[in-house]
Structure 1
Amino acid sequence: MSLELICLALAGLLWAGQLAHLALRANLEIGTRYFLSPRDDPPPKPLSPGTSRLKRAYDNHQEALLLFGVAVTAISLADKSTPLSGALAFIYLGARVAFVPAYVLGWQPWRSVFFGIGYLCSILLLVLALI
């Protein structure tokens, strides 16, 4: 398996871990009754600021993971895996891992820096797949 695909699989596990952590914290704050309901009504109370940030970090990763997945798929199907593309995938993964605590803990400007690094890596992977 290429390094790009390994990083994609690990990014998927990061996404799953973020969802599990978010679900646990939200259930502890709001209670399982709401989450077991059809959720036709708004939650009985808002999420805490920390859990709200965790949700936004999760949502952001979900969006970023799509672009990264497209880039890795393009690299793999075009058979363009190189040490550079592997390094870009690894840097993307590191940036996304660092993004979570940066977002949840409000580290400025690092949250934006980590987002930008991951985004740039995905774009560069797409370019490498095309050349």
Structure 2
Amino acid sequence: MTPELTALTLAALLQVVQYVLYAVPANLELGTGYTTSARDRDPSKPMSDRTARLGRAMDNHFEGLILFTIACVAVTLSGKSGNLTAACAYTYLAARLLYIPAYAYGLRPWRSYIWAVGFLATTLLLLAALL
């Protein structure tokens, strides 16, 4: 397996961890009566700011995984895997790891800077696949 696909697999596992980090407190705060329902109405009480942020961080990673997956697959299938692309893939993964606590604790503007590092790493992977 290429380093890029390894990083992609680890990023997918990180998404599983993020789901748990969000789902457990959401269930505790909203109650399973709401979280197992069809959610046709808003919850009767809001989630804490931190739990809501964990949910947004999870959603953001789902969005980022789309481009990152394309980038890793394109690099791998084009045979362009190398030191630069491996470094970019692991930079994305490190940025996503740091993004979770940065978002959960509302670390501004650092959360945005961390996100930008991951986005830049993904963009470089895409460019490397083309060149």
Instruction: Give the structure-1-normalised TM-score.
Output: 0.97
Structure 2 equivalent of residue 10 of structure 1: 10
Distance in 2 between residues matched to 1:112 and 1:37, nearest whole Å: 34
Distance in 1 between residues matched to 2:55 and 2:9, nearest whole Å: 21
1:120 and 2:120 matched: yes
- 3-state DSSP class of the match of 1:95? helix
Q: CA deviation at 1:79?
A: 1.1
For structure 1, the 5+ residue unaligned runs are none
Structure 2 equivalent of residue 40 of structure 1: 40
Q: CA deviation at 1:109?
A: 1.7
Equivalent pairs counted in the alignment come to 131
1:99 and 2:99 matched: yes
Distance in 1 between residues matched to 2:21 and 2:103, nearest whole Å: 14
Q: Structure 1: which 4+ aligned runs deviate by more than 6 Å?
A: none
Q: CA RMSD in A?
A: 0.8
Distance in 1 between residues matched to 2:106 and 2:39, nearest whole Å: 29
Instruction: Give the structure-2-normalised TM-score.
Output: 0.97
Structure 2 equivalent of residue 111 of structure 1: 111
Distance in 1 between residues matched to 2:46 and 2:96, nearest whole Å: 26
Structure 1 equivalent of residue 23 of structure 2: 23
Structure 1 equivalent of residue 56 of structure 2: 56
For structure 2, the 5+ residue unaligned runs are none
The share of aligned pairs that are identical, in percent, is 48
Q: CA deviation at 1:67?
A: 0.7
